[in-house]
Chains A and B, each alone.
Chain A
Amino acid sequence: MSMLLEVNGVSVTFDGFRAINNLSINFAEAELRAIIGPNGAGKTTFMDIVTGKTKPDEGQVIWGDKNTSLLGLSESEIARKGIGRKFQKPSVFEAQTVRQNLAMALKTPRGPFAVLMHKKTKPNAQRIEAVAEQIGLQDSLTRNAGELSHGQKQWLEIGMLLAQEPRLMLVDEPAAGMTPEEREKTTDILKEAAKTRAVVVVEHDMEFVRRLDCKVTVLHEGAVLAEGSLDHVTSNQTVIDVYLGRSHA
C-alpha cells in the first residue's frame, strides 16, 4: 500500500546532540495516529522536519502519490502541498478576529497578487462558518482571537488547519491546558477530521490518547521505540521503563 508520508532513516543533530536518530515512520491516507514519548523525545522536531522548519542531516521524507521529496521545499511550499500544522504553543493571530484567522487559513490562492485582489465570496463565508461550527466558535467569529480562552485558541488553531483542507494534519499537544470537557470535545474534532484526512496527534495525556482509539507510536531518543495499539505499547516493558514509569503515567 502506498503511503501518504514516508520518513526514512532521518537524523538531526543539534550542536552534537542527536535529537532525531535514524527515525523511520510512515502514515497512511486518512489515518489517525497518536505519537507519545517523554519530553525531549523528538516529537516536535519530527514535525519540524516534515514541515520544512528543520533540515535533517540525512534521510528521506517522501510525500504523496507522486513520491515527492519534501526535503528541498520551503515551509510554505510544503504547506501548499497539503500538510498543516498546529504548534505546541497555541499560535493564532491574536490581534485579528476569529473570522479573519480562519479566512487567512482558508484554502484559496496564496500569492500576493491574488490575495490583494481577493474578494469575499459566499461559499468562502459558508466554509468559514462551517469550520467555526466544527470547533464550537460559531458565536465568536467577530471576537478578537486574543480574547479567547486558552482552550478556544487551541480549537481556533485546529480550525485553521481544517480550513486549510490539508491531507495531513500534524497536531502538537492539542489538549495541553484544557479542562476535561474541552479535551473530550477536542478528541471529537480530531476524530471527525481523521475521517477525511490523515491526522497525527502528539499528546502526553494517556486518557486523551485512549479516547482517540487509534494506532500509537512511541518515540524515544529520536527513534521509534514501539508501535501498535495503546494496550500493546503500554504493556511493552521498555516503554514502561522510559516513559510510563515516569511522572506522566
Chain B
Amino acid sequence: MRNSFLAQNPSMLWFIALLAVFTIAVTLLSEVTGVGLISTSFVKTLGKTLCLCLVAIAMDVVWGYCGILSLGHFAFFGIGGYAIGMWLMYARTEGIVLDSLAGQPIPPTPAEISDAIGNQIFGVVGSSEFPMIWAFADNLFVQLVMVVLVPGLLALVFGWLAFRSRVTGVYLSILTQAMTLALALYLFQNDSGLRGNNGLSGLQNIPGFEETSQATISILFFLASAVALAAGYVFFAWIVSGKMGSVVKGIRDNEARVRFLGYHVESYKLFIFTTTAVVAGIAGALYYPQAGIINPGEIAPIASIYLAVWVAIGGRGRLYGAVIGATFVSLLSSWFTGGGAPDINLGFYTVQWTDWWLVLLGLSFVVVTLFFPKGIGGAFDYLVRKPS
C-alpha cells in the first residue's frame, strides 16, 4: 500500500525534496545565521507564499480534482487567521496592560484588567465590552481548535445544504461567493465583535516571545509554513490517489455515473469541501502572524477568485501545479503592485503597473484557460510519468 502510494506520486518526493532544499537555503541565507542575504521582510514574504501554496493545493483538490469550483475558500483561510489573531491580540494586549498596571499601589482587580484590555482592543470601534466570540480568546489551545473547527463547521453546514439540494456548477460558485461576501460584510461592521474594518493587528508580535527578534520569529514561521505545506501536500496526495482519488475524479468528470455505481456523491463532495476548508483555515492561521494584520478586506469575494486564478494558471488537477501557480502569481503580483515593476512610458500614456497588473493577470488567465488548459504545471506532464 505504502509503496503503491509513493509509486503513484513520483512528483511528491520531488516536491518534498525541493521544498526541503529551498527551506534550508532560505534559513541559511537569512538574518538569523548572520548571513543576511535574505531580509527578514522577504523571509516573511516567502513564508506567506508557502501558506498561499497550501491554500492553493486545497483549492486544487476541491476544484481541480473534485470539480467543485468553490469561490469561497479564501473565506476559510481568513477565518483561520481571525481565530489565531484573536489570541495573539488578546494575549499581547494583556501583557501590555499588566505591565502598565504593575506600578500601581493597589493591585488591579480582574475586572479592571479585563476592562483595560477591552478598552485597548475595542477602543477603535467605540466599545470596551468583550463580545461573546472572544470568550476563549485568552486560551491559545481553544483558539487553535477554532482554527480548524470554525472553517470545518461552516463548510460542513454550507456544503450539506448546497450539495443536498444538488446545487452544482456556476450556481454553486455563485453561492460560495455569496457566502464569502456575507462574511466579509458582517466582519466590516463595527459591532461584529472583530473590530470592523480595523481588523486585528500587531499579529507579528508573538506573546511570550517579546525578547525574540523578528528575524528569528520570521524564520520560525517560515519553517512552520514549510512543514505545514509538506504535510498538506502528502495528505492531499494521499486523498487524491488510490480509490478515493478515482471516485473524486469520477465525480468531477461524470457525477451521475458515480452515483449509479452506488456512491453517495454528496458525502464525498462534503468530505472534500470540508477537509479542504480546514486546511485553508490552517494555512490562514500561519499566514496572518507573518502578515501582521488581518482585516475583512482579506475575505472579500475577489480573494477567492484570485485563488482559482492561481490554480488555473498553475494547472488544475496536479498539486504541484497549484504550488507553481500560487508562488508565481502571488510573487509577481506583489512585485507589480508593490512598485517593483518599472512603469512603461509610451509617450502618450504611462502604463502604471499598480493599475495595469490586474489587466495583465486577467489576460493571462484568459490565455491560459483558452490555450493551455493544463496551465504551467502541464509542462511537467512530459517529465512525470503520469498526469492526474
Contacts of B268 in A (CB 8 A): 112
Q: Is A110 within 8 A of B264, CB to CB?
A: yes
Q: Is the interface of B mostly helix, strand, loop or mixed?
A: helix
One of B118-126, B169-177, B249-257, B343-351 at the interface: B249-257
Q: Is A112 within 8 A of B246, CB to CB?
A: no
Cross-chain contact of A87 among B1, B257, B263 (Cβ < 8 A): B257
Does B388 sit at the interface, judged by CB under 8 A? Answer: yes
CB proximity to A under 8 Å, residues B233-280? 239, 242-244, 246-247, 249-250, 253-254, 256-265, 267-268, 271
Nearest residue, chain A, Cβ from B243: A118
Q: Is B260 within 8 A of A84, CB to CB?
A: yes
Q: Is A104 within 8 A of B264, CB to CB?
A: no
Q: Is A115 within 8 A of B257, CB to CB?
A: no
CB proximity to B under 8 Å, residues A55-113? 74-77, 79-80, 84-85, 87, 91-96, 100, 103-105, 110-112
Nearest residue, chain A, Cβ from B270: A112
Does A116 sit at the interface, judged by CB under 8 A? Answer: yes
CB proximity to A under 8 Å, residues B263-301? 263-265, 267-268, 271
Interface centre among B253, B257, B262 (most CB of A within 10 A): B262
Q: Is A93 within 8 A of B260, CB to CB?
A: no
- From residue A45, how far is it (CB to closest CB) to chain B in Å? 15
Contacts of A92 in B (CB 8 A): 257
Does B4 sit at the interface, judged by CB under 8 A? Answer: yes
Q: Is B259 within 8 A of A103, CB to CB?
A: no
Does A51 sit at the interface, judged by CB under 8 A? Answer: yes
- From residue A109, how far is it (CB to closest CB) to chain B in Å? 10
Q: Is B244 within 8 A of A75, CB to CB?
A: no
Contacts of B261 in A (CB 8 A): 76, 79, 104-105, 160, 164
- From residue B61, how far is it (CB to closest CB) to chain A in Å? 13
Q: Is B246 within 8 A of A111, CB to CB?
A: no
Cross-chain contact of B257 among A80, A93, A110 (Cβ < 8 A): A93
Nearest residue, chain A, Cβ from B258: A104
Does A122 sit at the interface, judged by CB under 8 A? Answer: no
- In the bound complex, CA of A208 to CA of B271 (Å): 44
- In the bound complex, CA of A92 to CA of B260 (Å): 12
Cross-chain contact of B249 among A53, A76, A96, A160 (Cβ < 8 A): A96
Cross-chain contact of A100 among B246, B267, B271 (Cβ < 8 A): B246
Cross-chain contact of A96 among B239, B246, B262 (Cβ < 8 A): B246
With A93-B250, A115-B247 known as contacts, the answer to whether A76 contacts B263 (CB < 8 A) is yes
Cross-chain contact of B243 among A77, A79, A80, A104 (Cβ < 8 A): A104
- In the bound complex, CA of A78 to CA of B10 (Å): 39
Q: Is A95 within 8 A of B260, CB to CB?
A: no
Does A246 sit at the interface, judged by CB under 8 A? Answer: no
- In the bound complex, CA of A112 to CA of B269 (Å): 10
Contacts of B249 in A (CB 8 A): 93, 95-96
- From residue A184, how far is it (CB to closest CB) to chain B in Å? 27
Contacts of A164 in B (CB 8 A): 261-262
- In the bound complex, CA of A80 to CA of B239 (Å): 24
Q: Is A91 within 8 A of B257, CB to CB?
A: yes
CB-defined interface of A149-171 with B at 8 Å, one 1/0 digit per residue? 00000000000100010000000
Q: Is B242 within 8 A of A118, CB to CB?
A: yes
Cross-chain contact of B1 among A77, A112, A119 (Cβ < 8 A): A119
Q: Is B254 within 8 A of A93, CB to CB?
A: yes
- In the bound complex, CA of A149 to CA of B14 (Å): 35
Q: Is B244 within 8 A of A118, CB to CB?
A: yes
Contacts of A95 in B (CB 8 A): 249, 253, 388
- In the bound complex, CA of A96 to CA of B257 (Å): 14
- In the bound complex, CA of A120 to CA of B242 (Å): 9
Contacts of B246 in A (CB 8 A): 93, 96, 100, 103-104
Q: Is A104 within 8 A of B260, CB to CB?
A: no
Interface centre among A74, A76, A105 (most CB of B within 10 A): A76
Interface centre among B249, B261, B271 (most CB of A within 10 A): B261
- In the bound complex, CA of A100 to CA of B239 (Å): 15
Contacts of B262 in A (CB 8 A): 76, 79-80, 110, 164
- From residue A75, how far is it (CB to closest CB) to chain B in Å? 4
Contacts of B264 in A (CB 8 A): 74, 76-77, 110-111
Q: Is A85 within 8 A of B263, CB to CB?
A: no
Contacts of A112 in B (CB 8 A): 244, 267-268, 271
- In the bound complex, CA of A112 to CA of B244 (Å): 7
- From residue B140, how far is it (CB to closest CB) to chain A in Å? 31
Contacts of A79 in B (CB 8 A): 259-262
- From residue B4, how far is it (CB to closest CB) to chain A in Å? 7
- From residue A140, how far is it (CB to closest CB) to chain B in Å? 16
Q: Is A120 within 8 A of B250, CB to CB?
A: no
- In the bound complex, CA of A76 to CA of B262 (Å): 4
Contacts of A116 in B (CB 8 A): 239, 243-244
Nearest residue, chain B, Cβ from A51: B260
With A94-B253, A110-B264 known as contacts, the answer to whether A76 contacts B243 (CB < 8 A) is no
Q: Is A120 within 8 A of B1, CB to CB?
A: yes
- From residue B316, how far is it (CB to closest CB) to chain A in Å? 12
- From residue A48, how far is it (CB to closest CB) to chain B in Å? 10
- From residue B197, how far is it (CB to closest CB) to chain A in Å? 40
> Would you mind naming 11 contact pairs between A and B with Cβ atoms under 8 Å apart?
A75-B259, A76-B265, A79-B260, A87-B260, A91-B257, A93-B257, A103-B243, A104-B250, A105-B261, A112-B244, A120-B1
7 A-B pairs with least C-beta separation: A79-B262, A118-B243, A80-B262, A75-B259, A91-B257, A76-B264, A112-B271
Given A76-B263, A164-B262, 17 additional A-B pairs, CB 8 A: A53-B256, A74-B264, A76-B259, A76-B262, A79-B260, A80-B262, A95-B249, A95-B253, A96-B246, A96-B249, A104-B250, A110-B263, A112-B244, A112-B268, A112-B271, A115-B247, A116-B243
